[in-house]
Amino acid sequence: MLPRFPASQPDYFETDFRIGKAFKLKEHEMLEISADMFNLTNRGNLFSDPDTNAIVPDQLTGRPQPGDTFGGTLPAYRKPTQISPGSLPFAAQFGARFSF
């Protein structure tokens, strides 16, 4: 009675961006600057933890839907309530490299 892929998660979207520029200062000297941006759109990718959100009772009377609760004691079934592992808020880092 469960859907075909009960462990499938909501879609995941994250864009990282890097930009850099090198400047030649002298014949053998170079300055490189860069900027890295992570999770450019600042999207919080949610997922449902199957260890806590995929619990269903032994006897089902119908197909469970995401967010269903059973008897009030079990957590909501497959409700995306947590930020996905590896999904970070927007972050940026800047760098400079001097070569000679």
Q: Where are the domains of the chain?
A: 17-56+65-99
Q: What are the contacts of 22-27 at 24+ separation with CB within 8 A?
A: none
Residue 3 has pLDDT above 90, yes or no: no
**0.75 surpassed by pTM:** no
Q: What CA–CA distance (Å, rounded) separates 97 from 29?
A: 11
DSSP string, 14-74: ---EEEEEEEEEETTEEEEEEEEEESTT----EE--HHHH----SS-SS---TT--STTTS
Position 41 scores a pLDDT of: 86
Position 31 scores a pLDDT of: 97
Tokens of residue 54, six digits: 């995929």
Can you name the residues that pair with 99 across neighbouring β-strands?
30
